[in-house]
Amino acid sequence: MFKKSPLINSIFFLFISITALITSCGSDDGDIETKDSIDPTIACVSDVNITVDAVSNGTEVTYNEPVGSDNLPGAVTTQTEGLASGEIFPVGTTTNTFQVKDAAGNTASCSFVVTVTRSTPSLDAPYFIGTDPKPSGKTWHKVENLSDEFDDDSFDESKWLNTDPRRWIGRAPGIFKENTVTETGGNLKLTAYKLDTPEVVNGNTFTHAGSYIGSKEAAQVGYYFECRMKANKTFMSSTFWLINHRGDGTGCDRRVTELDIQECVGQITTTAGWAQQFDETIHSNTHSRQADCASTPTGSAGGNAEIGEKAWAGYHVYAAWWKSATEVEFYLDGKKVYTVTPKANFDLPMYLRMVVETYDWNPVPADGGMTGTEEERTTSYDWVRTWELK
């Protein structure tokens, strides 16, 4: 009988062991990992450019949100920068970035820009949104002596009075001071402050400084008046209005007529219910008072409309069309908000006023009311424009 040698036996067993090892390593596919080295892909929409009206702070923007793709399931897309579709995008530039990440951790991203730009009111016509209400065949012409862009850093004394002590020094406790008025940065700025020492004038005690700007030229029936203004944030007023000189009238026309386009305050200190929205509305009035003749009607008629934010939060265009002796139309940010019929004919020449004053119905707060920054104490007029039809 043939007998295997020990050497042959050893070689045989070694062969069997190697074969088993190779078989074992190759039989379990789960032990061999395949690396995903392919990045996902994503594509964004083109940049978005939108123009809004001259007083808007932003607008709703919708867009197609990108969704990334990958060669294998499990990719997830997220927004890493910017605002979602359907949100309010502010004036300016907003960058929106999206990233897709696959199951293996590979990423890709894309970006696009949304730019919101304010339109600029024309220098050649009043600011209207929609239809210009001027009659057919007529055009608007600027009344230069009742208009100012306030863009040369120099107060125009040929057009405006900075205080007028002969007529009005202010309502206590607010006295008009020339040093509250500056023209800088393309704005006429009226900055209220608390006096270092109270002043007593004609028996009245004054503790705060306000501003009085009056036109030297009178306005006429038919004129359209507008200003772009940001109110101060104090208990004192921010205003744009007209009034006549009582002494200019004769006979039964001797009276005071006043056209208030906008009167508001930045801080409400009164508890009176009727005044609780004085910091977020356009508040207008027509007044006829102090008539020499009992037959001359007197009284007030006006209106209110919500601004949509606090009056001190941003610039707004306040306007009125003194359309006729019996009709005044009021506009907010280019849109007509109401029409007022004065209690008496409005046909006397009146002068423009931009005034920061104290109201007896909105008293000084306990802290003095001047704790804010200089900007918060300032009423800013970007421009004033007056128009006539020809």
Report, as residue numbers or ranges, the catalytic residues: 258, 263
Q: Give one DSSP letter per residue of 174-236, joined into a string.
A: EEE-GGGEEEETTEEEEE-EEEEEEEEETTEEEEEEEEEEEEEEEE-TT-EEEEEEE--SSSS
Sign of CA dihedral 357, 359, 364, 365: negative
CA distance 365 to 369: 5
Q: Are 230 and 375 a contacting pair, CB within 8 Å?
A: no
Residue 178, amino acid: E
Q: Are 170 and 138 a contacting pair, CB within 8 Å?
A: no
Residue 333, amino acid: D
Residue with tokens 């304010």: 118
Residue 146, amino acid: L
